[in-house]
Structure 1
Amino acid sequence: MKNSINQPYQIVDFSSRYATQISQLYHTAVQGITHPRYPQQKLNAWSSAPRSAKFWQLQYKRNKAWLALDNHQVIGFISLETHFKHQGYIDCLYVHPDYQKQGIASALFQHLQHWALQQQYPFISVDASYLSKPLFEKKGFTLQQTSYQQKCGQTFTGFYMKKWLID
């Protein structure tokens, strides 16, 4: 698969050997946010340091995740809850700041959606941030309700959105 500026990248299933790279990408992407709704104290509450590789390995033992790789370097990832009551819930979508605005998030989402359709999920859902909400709206998600999460004394506003896959 190629992105919009013709740099080669491929989308692959999660492999635990990439857990450290995912951890670093997540932290870098969060700390790289420059938006008035996300002052530094919120970014620090969101991700004060990279999580352990073990965290991501355990996370993706029970969820389905895909990685965008450029020469074996993780440049983006997306994951989907596949168990219990949150089945079909997108819990992460991050792209490295150096690779944003190149269609990688859209390509990752399309890959996830194709997989979810094959699994006959009736819908997929997400708690979108202010930053990701426009992307999910473009992909056909509709707002269900505003949500709020507390983390390290900071309140994060989210937008619980849903996209029906099966009529």
Structure 2
Amino acid sequence: MRLRTYEIADTKEIIKLFYDTAHEVNIHDYTEEQVDAWAPANMDIDVWIKGLGSKFTYVAEEQGKIIGFGELEINGHLDRFYYHKDFQRKGIGKKILEQLESKAKVLGIEKLFTEASITAKPFFESHNFSVMKQQEVEWRGQKLIKFVREKLIEYLLNWFNLKQ
């Protein structure tokens, strides 16, 4: 597996990965109507290009195939964070998160936060993200349960330890 920065040419494959993951993985925790609202069949590629390009977006690929991606905003928000349905529980998410955390440290970000799905809740728990609150969000007329989670970046603590 190789991690790299997002390129515009990745967009169609990322959209497909997002759609497939929602419809084949998240479907275990949400209804078909909710998943259809979350990841509709017809997504606007220009909106995705703008969104992916406006953040620090990293792509995981294996043998030329995109198997995951994650986005970091300058304020520490992890927006979209998905990996391929065939690569669940294989360390892909961990590698993407490590890259996002590394970038956050370089940027001096002190806290990461996200709105994790029910499906992603165990992943973020295992990577020391605390639940701040449960929320109900509405997308295209469907209400979905999400969890606002956050994690303090440990680079300050590590820096102080190095000075001692």
Q: TM-score, normalising length from structure 1?
A: 0.87
1:62 aligns with 2:50: no
Q: Which residue of 2 aligns with 1:149?
A: 137
When residues 77 and 117 of structure 1 are mapped into structure 2, their CA distance, relative to the original with a 3 A threshold, is same
Gaps of 5+ in 2: 158-164
Q: How far apart are residue 146 of structure 1 and its match? A: 1.2
Q: Percent identity?
A: 23
Gaps of 5+ in 1: 1-8
Q: Is the 8 A contact 1:20 1:52 kept in 2?
A: no
Q: Which residue of 2 aligns with 1:112?
A: 100
Q: Is the 8 A contact 2:24 2:85 kept in 1?
A: yes
1:46 aligns with 2:42: no
Q: How far apart are residue 156 of structure 1 and its match? A: 0.8
Q: Is the 8 A contact 1:19 1:54 kept in 2?
A: no
Structure 1 segments of 4+ aligned residues over 6 angstroms from their partners: none
Q: Deviation per CA, 1:24-58: give whole Å up to 9, x if none.
A: 111111111241x3111111111121523322210
Q: Which moved more, 1:125-134 or 1:42-51?
A: 42-51
Q: Which residue of 1 aligns with 2:111?
A: 123
Please state which structure has a larger fraction of its residues in helix: 2
Q: How far apart are residue 17 of structure 1 and its match? A: 0.9
Could you tell me how far apart the structure 2 residues matched to 1:156 and 1:42 are? 7
Residue aligned with 2:9, SS: helix
The one-letter code sitting in structure 2 at the alignment partner of 1:19 is T
Q: Is the 8 A contact 1:129 1:159 kept in 2?
A: yes
